[in-house]
Amino acid sequence: SQVRPAANQKPAEAIVADYSALHERWKSYLSDTGFQYPWELTLNRKLRGGFEEVARREDAPTSRYIVAHPTLAVAYSDASPDGSQTRLMGVVKIVGYKWWKYSGRRAKNVWGISATATLADLPEVNDTGIGVMVEYDQFAIGWSSHGGDSVVSLSLDLGAVLRGPDSLEGWLSKLGN
């Protein structure tokens, strides 16, 4: 005979398996969908109903908002002289949205789009620009207008590159101290 909790008709083993899958999806949400700054985590939590609602949630989110998210990219402009067409550029994702699907316990096919403000020191091109960035998994491509000159950018989620597979546990243990 199987042990069954009083409030649930599922066998205890099934509950443990469900919890394990849910835990892995939440880990994937926090580590596989891109780095979130504290203000983004707070906003996304509030939009999902606050701490209590998130705690009652049966599954990890399949989307999130991006707000005031600074990052770096490699910029290229045809308008700059030869030899000076590529530089490092600062990018702020002013507002954006990311979405994905879960394959088993992992977030896969993470897409995103953001309106951006950019800062690049490219010769013969205005330093500041506005544009758009499209993301897929850890990679992003952007376009921005710098005073009428087009700048194309490529970036990589450095947080994803620097994180190890146990990063969630590492952060949680630091928060607990």
Give tens-digit pLDDT for 84-108: 788 899 999 999 999 999 998 899 9
Instruction: Taking the CA atoms of 165, 168, 172 and 175 in sequence, report the sign of the dihedral they define.
Output: positive
Q: Are 33 and 110 in contact (CB under 8 A)?
A: yes
Q: Please report which confidence band the pLDDT of residue 119 belongs to, taking 50, 70 and 90 as the band edges.
A: very high
So what's the pLDDT on residue 102?
Answer: 92
pLDDT value of residue 165? 46
Distances in Å between the alpha carbon of 70 and those of 52, 104, 105?
Answer: 29, 31, 29
pLDDT of residue 53: 61
- pLDDT tens digits, 45-91: 888 776 666 556 667 889 999 999 999 999 999 888 787 788 899 99
Report d(CA 19, CA 12) in Å as an integer: 11
- pLDDT single digits (tens) 2-47: 555 555 576 777 666 667 777 888 888 888 888 889 999 889 888 8
pLDDT by residue (tens digit) across 132-170?
999 998 899 999 999 999 999 999 876 665 654 445 555
C-alpha to C-alpha distance for 76 and 150, rounded to whole angstroms: 9
Q: In sequence order, which residues have a C-beta less than 8 Å from that of residue 40 and are 6 or more positions away?
A: 64, 65, 66, 67, 68, 69
Pairing of strands 128-136, 106-120: antiparallel
In our burial notation (b when 16+ CB lie closer than 10 A, e otherwise), range 38-56 reads eebeebbeeeeeeeeeeee
Judge whether residue 128 has pLDDT over 60: yes
C-alpha 74/C-alpha 141 separation (Å) is 10
pLDDT (0 to 100) of residue 54? 57
Looking at residue 108, what is its pLDDT?
Answer: 92
